């Protein structure tokens, strides 16, 4: 287990470093991330490299047993660079040039910026590529913004488009340019999506710009990864994702990386631990293997305003929640709050005074002792799941590039289903178009406007072989050019779901339309945002609309269709959490997925498995500040306390249990 902290030695007098390193060791830390914002300190003026301070910092830390992760510092270019080359500055959607003075103000497509990137990354890699204390690298920092519309981007977009379509006849047809007289007769006429200040650029062009910019970001990252792989020995390369950042396809980027990591700040969402869980599971999904939390919150944060400090035991709970979802590295952000700069009141393990009396230092120190105890049991374990959620950045772009699709917020609809699964205490994994689905019993595909033959075949095969598949409203309405299908909705998915849709509508007033169901459940649920009116062919209705015009016309709201050895479910509406809870519980039962354990709401239950022995470790995490109960079916050893436990057991506020069945 890698356990450590993000440290900025450049912010503190060198005389303090040794004391910091010793205190880190005392806390049980073994890993430190350094340098991801230290460009101006490493290259003070163009070509003047100064590594001796970083050498000494690495040495001081490794003398206390720390292993080092080095960040490449490209998220914050030094002022000499942007002064000499203002053309590297990004241009935002409103055509404003982003000036220096903050961070992330460069364009990933700038050739000049790419050259400077190559130089700084190569020089760092040459310097530390065979340093045996350096175990790995982080590229840049939280890539994904700003989306840029500068002249370099325009030029590269044009060549990307030319390569994709070959000739203008093809482009005109795939972009539907006969609409409003957009037919292009020369490549130079092609605009960027923000060229016209009115909202609503051509949805096909806009989707292509999203694809192009995603590719550009992935390419920019790969430029760094390739240098690091070439110039270093036995060191891995990762990136610290913000998993839901929509502007590039994280699954694509992860293919180039050895490890996925994410930055985890739960305070803002502590009312919804489901979101934290989803962040972990999505990061796991990017590479389908254990991940690191590269920045784990452990204090108050600087956001719009200062966020509340974690309550006693809460940061410990966050740590175990991360591990429960498959983290094998936990790095707290940050060691000590900086006395200056934008984040001077962003907390850390220590307070500004650097004293070991910091309550968080004491809390984390005790976590360090605990981790030593459970290290053996966790090592080599991973997360497996019977239930998957299909996640696609591209499907989200299709929604974003055409505002009249439906009021669906991609993440919200994903979270509606994820939250119900989270509360049902089952492991969930996120899968992408490239994933092998064969391990899954149940796959939920919350928003899927665009389909093509191969995607439909992938889903049909999954169901044919016995899987349960769920699609939701507005599925299959488009092709990958962002054009509406000419088939009856849900287009190419009609056979699989055994339904036809001839009417649909956004829902503005609630509860204008309600749904009744499911089997034996005497409840009604309000339709929210949208209704697809389902007309079952081979399918049968699982829940009918029971109020409002779709009810008068006898439409179904949710259907179930036997297809091959499996079942395809279609949910034609968005509703309240009660609907998702009941629907998901029906789906789990039908597809034979059992909860790991049952407990009060607010108690999270997850498991990790040792793939060699098949042994399972069950994590029970109380996300709340109140005592909760969990029903232990059988006899268990609790690893943190080494006690035997069974029956209806109390979990302390923010408490954690790690259980081994005996």
> Which residues are annotated as catalytic?
142, 295
Q: Which does 314 bind (CB under 5 to 8 A by kind): ligand GLA, Zn ion, none?
A: none
> Which structure tokens are listed for 553?
């016309």
How many Cα atoms occupy the beta-carbon half-sphere of 278 within 13 Å? Answer: 25
Q: What is the dihedral of CA 116, 118, 121, 123, to 10 degrees?
A: -90
* Residue 42 interface partner, choices ligand GLA, Zn ion, none, CB cut-off 5-8 Å depending on type: none
What's the DSSP call for residue 13? -
Give yes or no for residue 560 binding ligand GLA (CB under 6 A). Answer: no
Is 87 in contact with 81 (CB distance < 8 Å)? no
Q: Which is nearer to Zn ion, 107 or 420 (CB)?
A: 107
- For ligand GLA, the binding residue among 295, 314, 386, 582 (CB under 6 A) is 295
H helix or E strand, kind and range, residue 390: strand 387-390
Task: Give me 238's structure tokens.
Answer: 């990762």
Instruction: Compare residues 187 and 245 and give the one whose CB is closer to ligand GLA.
Output: 245
> Who's near 411: CB < 8 A, 6+ residues apart?
244, 396
Residue 632 contact, options ligand GLA, Zn ion, none, Cβ 5-8 Å cut-off depending on partner type: none
Whole-angstrom Cα Rg for the chain? 26
- The distance of closest approach from Cβ of residue 472 to ligand GLA in the complex, given in angstroms and rounded to an integer, is 31
Q: What is the DSSP string of 507-556?
A: E-STTSSEEEESTT--EEEE-EEEEEEEEESSSEEEEEEEESHHHHTT-E
Cα(655)–Cα(603) distance, integer angstroms: 9
Structure tokens at 319: 């740590």
Residue 104 or 433: the one with the smaller Cβ distance to ligand GLA is 104
For ligand GLA, the binding residues in 491-520 under the rule CB under 6 A are none
**Smaller CB separation from Zn ion, 2 or 215:** 215
Residue of 30, 72, 110, 141 interacting with ligand GLA (CB under 6 A):
141
Angle of the 273-287 helix axis to the 410-423 helix axis, nearest 10? 100
Spatial distance between the Cα atoms of 72 and 45, rounded to a whole number of angstroms? 17
**Angle between helices 203-231 and 393-400 in degrees, nearest 10:** 150
Candidates 54, 20, 24; CA nearest to 38 is 54
- Pairing relation of β-strands 528-536 and 499-507? antiparallel
CB of 214 to Zn ion, least distance (A): 14
| 360 close to 592: Cβ distance less than 8 angstroms | no
Site for ligand GLA in 337-356 (CB under 6 A): 343, 346
**Residue selected from 301, 443, 596, 651 as contacting ligand GLA according to rule CB under 6 A:** 301
Q: Which does 148 bind (CB under 5 to 8 A by kind): Zn ion, ligand GLA, none?
A: Zn ion
In the list Zn ion, ligand GLA, none, the entry touching 346 (Cβ below 5 to 8 angstroms by class) is: ligand GLA
142 binding ligand GLA? (CB under 6 A): yes
Shortest approach of ligand GLA to residue 36 CB, angstroms?
Answer: 7
Q: Choose from Zn ion, ligand GLA, none: what does 604 bind? Cβ within 5-8 Å by kind.
A: none
* 328 binds, options Zn ion, ligand GLA, none, Cβ within 5 to 8 A by partner type: none
513 binds, among ligand GLA, Zn ion, none (CB under 5 to 8 A by kind): none
Closer Cβ to Zn ion, 109 or 432, answer by number? 109
Please state, in angstroms and as integers, the Cα–Cα distance from residue 645 to each residue in 105, 424, 618, 623, 642, following that order. Answer: 54, 22, 13, 20, 9
Q: Compute the CA torsion angle 278, 280, 281, 282 (nearest 10 deg).
A: 80
Residue among 301 and 443 whose Cβ is closer to ligand GLA: 301
Q: How far is the CB of 137 from Zn ion (least distance, A)?
A: 25
H helices of 537-648, in order, are 549-552, 577-590
Token readout for 62 is 């490794």
How near is the Cβ of 393 to Zn ion at its closest, in Å?
20
User: How many Å apart are CA 400 and CA 405, to the nearest integer?
Assistant: 9
Q: Which is nearer to Zn ion, 109 or 235 (CB)?
A: 109
Closest CB 133 distance from ligand GLA, rounded Å: 23
Q: Cβ closer to ligand GLA: 141 or 419?
A: 141
Instruction: Copy the structure tokens of residue 133.
Output: 């204390």
Q: How far is the CB of 249 from ligand GLA (least distance, A)?
A: 20
Q: Please report whether residue 69 would count as binding ligand GLA according to CB under 6 A.
A: no
Binding mask 15-34 for ligand GLA (x = CB under 6 A): --------------------
Do the beta carbons of residue 9 and residue 53 sit within 8 Å?
yes
Least distance CB 299 / ligand GLA (angstroms): 10
270: contact with ligand GLA by CB under 6 A = no
List residues binding Zn ion (CB under 5 A): 107, 109, 148, 150, 152-153
Closest distance to ligand GLA from the beta carbon of 141 (Å): 5
The site for ligand GLA, by CB under 6 A, has a size of: 9
Q: Which residue has the tokens 């030593």?
A: 372
Nearest approach in angstroms of CB 153 to Zn ion is 3
Out of Zn ion, ligand GLA, none, which partner does residue 153 contact, by CB within 5 to 8 A per kind?
A: Zn ion
Look at residue 301 and give the partner it binds from ligand GLA, Zn ion, none, a contact being a CB closer than 5 to 8 Å depending on partner kind. Answer: ligand GLA
Nearer residue to ligand GLA within complex by CB, 240 or 419: 240
Q: Which is nearer to ligand GLA, 143 or 558 (CB)?
A: 143
Which structure tokens are listed for 624?
A: 């709340």
What span, in angstroms and rounded, lies between the C-alpha atoms of 578 and 525?
Answer: 7
Closest approach of Cβ 322 to ligand GLA, in Å? 15
- Among the residues of 239-392, which ranges form H helices? 250-256, 273-287, 314-324, 359-378
State which residue has the least CB distance to ligand GLA: 263
Q: What x-and-dash track marks residues 248-267 binding ligand GLA by CB under 6 A?
A: ---------------x-x--
Smaller CB separation from ligand GLA, 66 or 301: 301
In angstroms, the CA 182 to CA 565 distance is 48
Beta 566-571 vs 540-547: how paired, if at all? unpaired
Q: What share of the chain is helix, strand, coil (3-state, %, to 5)?
A: 35, 25, 40
Structure token digits, residue 467: 């899987």
**Binding-site partner at residue 263 among ligand GLA, Zn ion, none, CB < 5 to 8 Å by type:** ligand GLA
Q: Which residues bind ligand GLA (CB under 6 A)?
A: 141-142, 263, 265, 295, 301, 333, 343, 346
């Amino acid at each position: 287990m890698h356990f450590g902290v993000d440290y900025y030695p450049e912010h503190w007098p060198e005389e303090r470093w040794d004391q910091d390193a010793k205190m880190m060791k005392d806390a049980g830390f073994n890993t430190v991330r350094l340098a991801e914002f230290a460009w101006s300190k490493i290259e003070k003026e163009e070509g003047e490299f100064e590594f001796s301070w970083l050498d000494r910092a690495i040495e001081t830390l490794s003398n206390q047993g720390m292993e080092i992760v080095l960040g490449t510092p490209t998220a914050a270019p030094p002022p000499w660079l942007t002064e000499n080359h203002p053309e590297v500055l990004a241009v935002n959607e409103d055509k404003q040039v982003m000036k220096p003075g903050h961070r992330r103000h460069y364009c990933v497509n700038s050739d000049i910026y790419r050259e400077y990137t190559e130089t700084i990354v190569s020089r760092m890699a040459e310097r530390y590529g065979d340093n045996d204390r350096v175990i790995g690298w982080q590229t840049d920092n939280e890539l994904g913004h700003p989306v840029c519309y500068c002249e370099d981007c325009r030029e590269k977009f044009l060549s990307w488009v030319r390569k994709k379509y070959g000739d203008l006849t093809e482009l005109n047809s795939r972009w539907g340019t006969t609409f409003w007289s957009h037919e292009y007769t020369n490549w130079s006429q092609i605009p960027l999506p923000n060229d016209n200040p009115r909202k609503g650029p051509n949805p096909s062009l806009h989707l292509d710009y999203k694809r192009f910019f995603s590719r550009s970001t992935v390419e920019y990252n790969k430029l760094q990864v390739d240098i690091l792989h070439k110039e270093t020995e036995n060191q891995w390369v990762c990136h610290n994702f913000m998993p839901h950042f929509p502007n590039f396809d994280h699954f694509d980027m992860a293919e180039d990386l050895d490890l996925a990591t994410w930055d985890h700040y739960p305070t803002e969402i502590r009312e919804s631990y489901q979101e934290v869980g989803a962040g972990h599971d999505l990061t796991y999904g990017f590479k389908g293997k254990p991940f690191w939390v590269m920045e784990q919150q452990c204090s108050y944060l600087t956001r719009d305003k200062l966020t509340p400090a974690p309550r006693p035991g809460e940061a410990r709970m966050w740590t175990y929640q991360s591990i429960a979802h498959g983290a094998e590295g936990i790095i707290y952000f940050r060691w000590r709050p900086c006395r200056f700069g934008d984040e001077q009141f962003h907390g850390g393990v220590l307070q500004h005074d650097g004293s070991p009396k910091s309550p968080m230092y004491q809390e984390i120190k005790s976590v360090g002792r605990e981790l030593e105890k459970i290290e053996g049991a966790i090592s080599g374990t991973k997360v497996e799941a019977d239930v998957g959620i299909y996640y696609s950045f591209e499907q989200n772009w299709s929604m974003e590039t055409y505002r009249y699709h439906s009021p669906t917020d991609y993440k919200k609809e994903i979270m509606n289903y994820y939250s119900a699964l989270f509360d049902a205490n089952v492991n969930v994994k996120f899968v992408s178009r490239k994933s092998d689905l064969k391990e899954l019993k149940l796959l939920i595909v919350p928003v899927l406007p665009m389909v093509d033959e191969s995607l439909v075949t992938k889903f049909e095969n999954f169901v044919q072989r016995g899987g349960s598949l769920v699609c939701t409203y507005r599925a299959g309405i488009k092709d990958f050019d962002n054009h509406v299908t000419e088939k009856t909705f849900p287009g190419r998915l009609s056979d699989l779901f055994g339904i036809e849709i001839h009417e649909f509508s956004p829902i503005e007033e609630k509860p204008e339309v309600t749904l009744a169901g499911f089997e034996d459940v005497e409840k009604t649920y309000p339709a929210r945002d949208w209704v697809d009116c389902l007309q079952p062919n081979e399918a049968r209705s699982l829940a009918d609309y029971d109020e409002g015009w779709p009810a008068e016309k006898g439409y179904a709201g949710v259907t179930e269709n036997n297809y091959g050895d499996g079942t395809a479910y279609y949910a034609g509406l968005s509703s309240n959490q009660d609907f998702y809870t009941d629907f998901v519980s029906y789906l789990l039962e039908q597809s034979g997925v059992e909860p790991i354990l049952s407990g009060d709401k607010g108690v999270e239950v997850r498991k990790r498995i040792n793939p060699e022995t098949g042994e399972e470790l069950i994590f029970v995490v109380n996300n709340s500040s109140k005592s909760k109960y969990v029903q232990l079916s059988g006899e268990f050893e609790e690893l943190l306390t080494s006690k035997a436990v069974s029956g209806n057991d109390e979990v302390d506020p923010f408490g954690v249990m790690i259980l081994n069945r005996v």
